[in-house]
């Protein structure tokens, strides 16, 4: 089955976010995909909300990288994005696949964004297809024993 999938990706830390995007796109070749680029992770939820409210998408993927530094700023951005994405999911009924990653090292970023085993772009694509199907499936009831 083919689904309409929106992807919102931040340009900040583009080396990594573009790798996430390309990994996801390789897995979504049989799907109709629209990509929206935003400056940074904090800007992701507004565009995710716009896509979800449009009713044109079965699922939306959020891709970004936040470097965890020595201050609380990154954690605050990460929490704000996470909370907003969950709210959008619940408010619109559109599944949002959250892959805005909080990372500490270059090695960790390369493994999650560019590697094969832990690649979050690939995982996001697989989760998007699964959740689009689940969200469109008929709810059935089984008799208890």
Is residue 75 a part of any domain in this protein? yes
Is residue 65 a part of any domain in this protein? yes
Q: What is the tens place of the pLDDT at every residue in 42-51? A: 999 999 999 9
- CB-CB contact of 2 with 32 (8 Å): yes
Confidence at 142, pLDDT banded by 50, 70, 90: confident
Is residue 144 a part of any domain in this protein? no
Q: Is 4 a catalytic residue?
A: no
Q: Which one of the listed residues 4, 73, 98, 126 is annotated catalytic? A: 73
Is residue 145 a part of any domain in this protein? no
Determine the structural domain holding residue 66 and report its residue range.
Answer: 4-136
Report the domain count for the chain: 1
Q: What is the CATH number of the domain that holds 33?
A: 3.40.50.960
Q: What is the tens place of the pLDDT at every residue in 83-99? A: 999 999 999 999 999 99
Is residue 36 a part of any domain in this protein? yes
Output the pLDDT for position 116: 84
* Cβ neighbours, 10 Å, residue 122: 17
Is residue 67 a part of any domain in this protein? yes
Is residue 141 a part of any domain in this protein? no
Output the pLDDT for position 118: 84
- In this prediction the pTM is 0.93
Separation of alpha carbons 48 and 133, rounded Å = 19
Is residue 143 a part of any domain in this protein? no
């Amino acid at each position: 089955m083919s689904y309409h999938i929106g992807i919102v990706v931040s340009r900040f830390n583009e080396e990594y976010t573009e790798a996430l995007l390309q990994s996801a796109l390789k897995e979504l070749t049989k799907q109709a995909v629209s990509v929206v680029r935003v400056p940074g992770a904090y800007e992701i939820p507004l565009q995710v909300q716009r896509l979800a409210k449009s009713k044109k998408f079965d699922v939306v993927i959020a891709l970004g990288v936040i470097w965890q530094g020595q201050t609380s700023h990154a954690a605050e951005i990460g929490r704000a994005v996470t909370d907003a994405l969950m709210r959008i999911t619940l408010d619109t009924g559109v599944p949002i696949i959250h892959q805005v990653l909080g990372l500490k090292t270059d090695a960790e970023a390369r493994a999650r964004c560019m590697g094969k085993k832990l690649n979050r772009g690939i995982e996001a694509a697989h989760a998007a297809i699964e959740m689009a199907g689940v969200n469109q499936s008929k709810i059935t009831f089984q008799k208890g024993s």
